[in-house]
Chains A and B, each alone.
Chain A
Amino acid sequence: MGDDMDIGGAPSAAVQDFLKETSLYLAPDPEIMNNHGLEPRTAFEDQCIGKEGDPVRLEIVRERILAGVNESYEMLENMGAAPGAKWGDCVSAVYTASGDLSLASSGGVVIFCNLVQYPIKFVNKYWSGDPTVGIKEGDVFIVNDARYGQAHNTDQSMMMPVFHEGRIVAWAGATVHEGENGAIEPGGMPSLAEQIWDEGLKMSPFKVAENYRLRRDLVTFLQNSVREPKLQYADMKVKMYVCRRIETRIHEAIAEYGVEAVVAALRMNLEDTDAEVRRRLLEWPDGTTRHAWWTDGTLRENVQIKINLALTKKGDEITFDYRGSSPEFTNRSNNSLDITVKGMLAQLFLTFIWPDIPRNQGVLAPVKFIFDNPSVLKPAFGTPNAQSMMTVFTAWSAGQVCAMKFLYSNPKKYTRVLAPWFNMINTFLFGGLTQHGEMVGNVCADINGMGGGALADRDGEHGCAPIFATMSDIGEQEFIEEEMPFIQIVSKKMMKDNQGFGRQRGGMGYQMVLAMRDSPAFGFMLTAMGAKFPNIPGLFGGYGCPTYPLSRVSGVDVFEILKTDPGSFRYSIEELMNERPFKDAKYTTHPMTLGYTLAQRGELYMISQGTGGGFGDPLDRKPEDVIRDLDEDLISHDVAWRVYRVVYDNETLHVDEEATEEAREAMRKERIAKSKPFDAFCEGWVKDKPSGKVPYYGCWDDKTMVHAGSPDTLHPAAQVNPPVIMANPLQVKIDRLEAELAACRKGQG
């Protein structure tokens, strides 16, 4: 179990030997990359389990090692130099000798370590027997190329074999969202990347330390390849010593319990998790739930991109079928590797459905995946994927909605059913020279401020956590301002009416109003979807999030205004943009897909984090909860009436219960009066193809056929020919302007 369903037959042993001896380039190995399941038990593991089979003793050993891993995670978070390390976008973990993720730290990003299984398996397969490399005690390997096994190229992982008496008994690993990686744009997530060579560092798994010492020649090469050389070195040291701490704790556990108990504990942790997940899946109803969603751009242009999911559960297995999703974009960065989708879905189960399950890859052992190959969720080897989050987060949310529709009926739950969490990285990336003369390129911790989805009996949490790391932090803004030449003049202030409406409302997102100062060269970029089509829905009658633009005020230096006329400043996006308080300034809105742009001192860049989805019919929301939101300035009087139909005294906010119930009943009757039976509605409303007003990618009603931009042309899924190649947006603009110019000249002539 665990292999993709689209894998062909394996080549014969003779062919494998031939290829092994003659390969000129060791690309990612499909045999490794297409298998997210557990490796078979080794003979040594069998032997250890035969000797140490007592589950109570193995649990003691497991907890002992987990304590060491958690200790190493604390080291990583406290010593790491990257913003991602400081705010929890990092993880440490223990892997079996074969490379399976067995124990992830209790905090941190599970997807990161879930994907490190692949480079460890690559090292085991290719470097262990290679006389020019080999694996020895004290070696440390590094990787960042997502195609060999990372969530995206901005992450860097280091991996250390743990030896006992000359034998590898485990691997230690540490991963940090490092940010800067020398890509075409600073910050490590380049939306401008049109080919994989624009994505910066491409570290296939290689040995970077021997005898527990980093090789300075290789470190220098890596420093020479990125914009933050000191960060590169600092965090390599941190990750290596994090691995070393794990190694120490494993050695101590071996000394106390014996190597057999440690190896058996790591292996049985996987097998027991697999068995428990299967047992829990048996509790779900059998059937299929379906959910499609659309992202509204590639980060370079606005187009409608379908992510199509049918989730089928039968017995103790479950299948994510993403066929019919958009074709790949061969010169855009918004494609997601299938391993990233799988890793994110492991996170879905381990944090949002079964948070009590041990954090390891056994959770995916009963899960199958089906993708069109190639497609936006399984791109070809040469297709960029640096901004995989634009697609994988939508694929994840589709999985969350489908899973919740299986979960609600279960009499035994391990956590609560949840409306969709906000899922997009509504945050600024930045780069340039700081006030201290340092060259930097990274991301604001506001990426972690996504609003939580509503629960059946509780509102979602505001600005809570990202979908990929439930225990991360949004950081201290003042701390960031000590290091970076920009200020969030409005920070962590909830945006009124930015709410996923429902009986229980989603947790809301906050505003960020930024201005640069004290740098001769510093800029911002944004890499988020959802300015035209919302990013998430609600659940069971609740609404999703609104759309999110970038707002800008240029031609102004607000720092001078704050000195000379502070009373004119407004402390919300709504007021700044609608009241336009600064004479002669230019006020504009844009999609949140800003390519790296040098900022002028005192210009305003303004965005909002997103809200989680609402749960249930908004007309069932308790009037006192609506009034509380109103009193806390989270919603306007307009929303209190238009969405929630609450009648109250505008001065005292005292609710008129009777009038409210009458108003709500009238609205329910209005719904009935204005609605049609489903079949009659579909007959008039459903069309046989996209409207053509918007370039459309993915299937419409038949998942075997996909559109590739045009409403009138269909291609067999995974066989889009010619492949999708997008024009350079600047060239598109130039062509349009030249055409207008030519028309003007013709008119004059």
Chain B
Amino acid sequence: MKVFITSMLTIDLDSERWECASCGHDIGNARDNYKKGLLVRERDPSEVHAPILDKEKYDFTFSPDPDWCAILEYCCPNCGHLAEVEYLPPGHPPAHDIELDIDALKAQWAKREPLDKPVLGPDFVAPPHSH
């Protein structure tokens, strides 16, 4: 049974493996940090948030300062889909951001029906016009 943990990552409860939600590629042990099974690269923040003001003229341009901020992109090694983007001070250790109790997860889903896609939640229903 697969559990949709993020929009780009699933956990296969039977094999206890992280998998890419886009291509099904095996990412790694579900009891470990999923990032270990992804590829990562650093982006200069101006490559993503390009200056809106002329950087030759101004100190502040709407683009993050590279001395303060680096952007790490994590992608699936098979299909190249982005699974996570992390903003960090340069050199700061990346977070082990999702660490689930896999035994508890298996017990929880043993009582649930498998899903073939993630549940988005209730639809927005506009309130009736009242004036």
Contact = CB atoms under 8 A, between A and B. Distances in A.
A294 B85 contact: no
Contacts of B110: none
Given A287-B98, A541-B81, A547 B42 contact: no
A615 B8 CA distance: 11
B118 A456 contact: yes
Q: Interface size bucket, A side?
A: 35 or more
A290 B105 contact: no
B53 A287 contact: no
A538 interface: yes
A593 to B, nearest CB: 11
Given A285-B105, A549-B62, A577-B53, A290 B93 contact: no
Contact of A675 (B7, B73, B95, B101): B73
Interface in A273-313: 285-294, 296, 304
Interface in A487-545: 495-498, 501, 503, 531-534, 537-538, 540-544
A78 interface: no
Contact of B41 (A417, A543, A549, A675): A675
A533 B54 contact: no
A496 B41 CA distance: 27
A678 B99 contact: no
A590 to B, nearest CB: 7
A574 B84 contact: no
Nearest to B107: A286
Interface string A601-630: 000000010000001111110000000000
A534 B89 CA distance: 11
Nearest to B47: A642
Interface string B78-103: 01111111110111111111111100
A577 B54 contact: yes
Contacts of B129: none
B128 interface: no
B6 A501 contact: no
B79 A291 contact: no
Interface stretch (A182-190, A406-414, A730-738): A406-414
Contact of B112 (A411, A457, A691): A411
Contact of B39 (A417, A538, A677): A677
Contacts of A285: 100-101, 104-105, 108
Contacts, number: 247
B67 A693 contact: yes
B40 A288 contact: no
Contacts of A18: none
Contacts of B3: 409
Contacts of A669: 80
Interface string A628-658: 0000000000110011000000000000000
A607 to B, nearest CB: 11
Given A287-B99, A574-B52, A687 B63 contact: no
Given A288-B99, A405-B6, A676-B39, A415 B122 contact: yes
Interface string B36-54: 1111111000011110111
A473 to B, nearest CB: 15
Interface stretch (A23-31, A35-43, A166-174, A694-702): A694-702
A551 interface: yes
B115 to A, nearest CB: 6
A660 to B, nearest CB: 15
Interface string A398-409: 000000010011
Contact of B97 (A290, A456, A497, A693): A290
A690 interface: yes
A498 B62 contact: yes
A591 to B, nearest CB: 7
B28 to A, nearest CB: 9
A164 interface: no
B129 to A, nearest CB: 17
A619 B83 CA distance: 12
Query: Which one of B33, B63, B119 has the highest number of Cβ atoms from chain A below 10 Å of its Cβ?
Result: B119
Given A405-B6, A411-B112, A590 B60 contact: yes
30 contacts: A285-B100, A286-B104, A287-B98, A290-B99, A296-B68, A304-B89, A411-B119, A412-B119, A414-B121, A496-B52, A498-B52, A533-B64, A533-B68, A537-B87, A541-B7, A542-B85, A543-B49, A577-B54, A615-B7, A616-B7, A616-B8, A617-B82, A620-B81, A675-B40, A678-B36, A678-B38, A682-B93, A686-B93, A690-B92, A700-B93
**7 closest cross-chain pairs (CB), A and B:** A668-B80, A687-B91, A549-B60, A413-B121, A675-B39, A541-B82, A287-B100
Given A416-B122, A541-B83, 12 more contacts: A285-B101, A289-B99, A296-B68, A304-B89, A408-B118, A547-B49, A573-B52, A589-B60, A675-B41, A675-B73, A676-B40, A691-B89
